[in-house]
Amino acid sequence: MHVLGIESSCDETGVALVRGDGEEAVLLAHALHSQVAMHEAYGGVVPELASRDHVRRLVPLVRDVAARAGLGLEAVDVVAYTRGPGLAGALLVGAGLACALGMALGRPVIGVHHLEGHLLSPFLAADPPRFPFVALLVSGGHTQLMAVHGVGRYALLGETIDDAAGEAFDKTAKLLGLGYPGGPALARLAEFGDPAAFDLPRPLLHAANLDFSFAGLKTAVLTRLRTLGADVCEQRRADLAAATQAAIVDVLVAKSLRALRETSMARLVVAGGVGANRELRRRLDAACASRGVRVHYPELDLCTDNGAMIALAAALRIGAGVERPAADYGFDVRPRWPLVEAGAGWGVTTP
Ligand code: KG4
Ligand code: ZN
């Protein structure tokens, strides 16, 4: 079964072809267009520009992916698109194209939850996980810990009560005068800094729950920057970047370990854009190795948004029998769509 995946929830246009066979899935080809350069001048994503760019990019990317896979579009058995969460206009572009393609080809179309894509993306890695596992989902919009018992069987263990981890990276990076998206830029600057040079807050670190709070971090960084004055030297900026990264990573590591303890699970899956952070990987690898816990990550190029994870999630859902594709071309999108509230029809349950 060949699944064409289309991702257009935010500022990346992603298309991919996955061959699914029951519980197995293989990535045949994928292509991505990042809008980062376009949004950079505005310091963040401009939704209207994002939608228009998806319109421009999607069809050429679909052609490109089919050519790279050496397949004609008639070989596509199912078309999958990101139904939500994300920017409404951007989602509609992907949904519209997916349904038009499905109708033209006479193939079923499936709307996929973006976070389910991230969560399952390590199944395309060289060392895929096995169920059950704890998933740490860390993206620009979400920070969640989930207990994952199988495809479509997800229970929310904890989540951020304010900013997401990626948002914390992006907002503090902006304060430090770094570009958009700030996460990778802040991580690069942090390499030259001393994380102990500033004592930044680690909210909810010792709270007896699995929730996160990152909003206070940007205020703390702003306060430190004001104290340092306008002509803050490069070394102090690097120190502040390193201290910020350390504060975020400390909380993510501690809460992941707590989730593993509370669920008695011995596997951790880390997914979403912040999962590309080298310091987070180093710290999680060390902490988990000493506790006999296996950690799985998506391939680095599949950490941030992409079409492969959408095609994969659809293929695995069909393979696991939680989704029965239908030739129904009426679509809607869900800009706000909690994974655990996605409903039984979507196979999302509490354990
Ligand atoms: O999953 P993703 O591509 O998009 C969303 O679904 O939100 O995640 C994007 C987020 C951004 O906040 C970006 O700054 C962050 O992931 N990010 C990183 C790194 N690479 C991407 N944060 C820290 N370190 C990185 N290396
Ligand atoms: Zn994402």
Interval 243-292: pLDDT, tens: 999 999 999 999 999 999 999 999 999 999 999 999 999 999 999 999 99
Q: Please give the pLDDT value at position 342.
A: 58
User: Alpha-carbon distance 105 to 124, whole Å?
Assistant: 27
> Quick one: pLDDT band at residue 351, thresholds 50, 70, 90?
very low
> Quick one: pLDDT band at residue 350, thresholds 50, 70, 90?
very low
Distance 115 CA to ligand 2 centre (A): 7
Interval 176-207: pLDDT, tens: 999 888 999 999 999 999 999 999 999 999 99
The class (CATH top level) of 131-297 is alpha beta
Residue 173 CA: nearest ligand 1 atom is 14
CATH number assigned to the domain covering 2-120+302-349:
3.30.420.40
CB 275 within 8 A of CB 138: yes
User: Alpha-carbon distance 73 to 96, whole Å?
Assistant: 17
User: Alpha-carbon distance 111 to 83, whole Å?
Assistant: 5
pTM of this prediction?
Answer: 0.94
Does the beta carbon of 163 sit less than 6 angstroms from any atom of ligand 1? no
Does the beta carbon of 193 sit less than 6 angstroms from any atom of ligand 1? no
Span between the terminal Cα atoms of the chain, in Å: 29
The proportion of the chain whose per-residue pLDDT surpasses 90, expressed as a percent, equals 88
User: Alpha-carbon distance 60 to 133, whole Å?
Assistant: 37
User: Alpha-carbon distance 298 to 124, whole Å?
Assistant: 7
Q: Please give the pLDDT value at position 343.
A: 43
Asked if pLDDT for residue 112 goes beyond 70, the answer is: yes
Does the beta carbon of 187 sit less than 6 angstroms from any atom of ligand 1? yes
Q: Count Cβ neighbours within 10 Å for each residue of 72-97 and write b for 16 or more, e otherwise.
A: ebeebbbbbbbbbbbbebbbbbbbbb
Interval 20-47: pLDDT, tens: 998 899 999 999 999 999 999 898 899 9
- Domain ranges in the chain with CATH number 3.30.420.40: 2-120+302-349, 131-297
Distance 229 CA to ligand 2 centre (A): 36
Residue 8: exposed, middle, or buried by beta-carbon count in 10 A (0-12, 13-18, 19+)?
buried
> Quick one: pLDDT band at residue 346, thresholds 50, 70, 90?
very low
Distance 12 CA to ligand 2 centre (A): 9
Q: Please give the pLDDT value at position 341.
A: 63
Ligand nearest to the CA of 11: 1
What does the longest C-alpha to C-alpha distance in the chain come to? Answer: 63
**Residues 276, 162, 194, 227, CA torsion sign:** positive
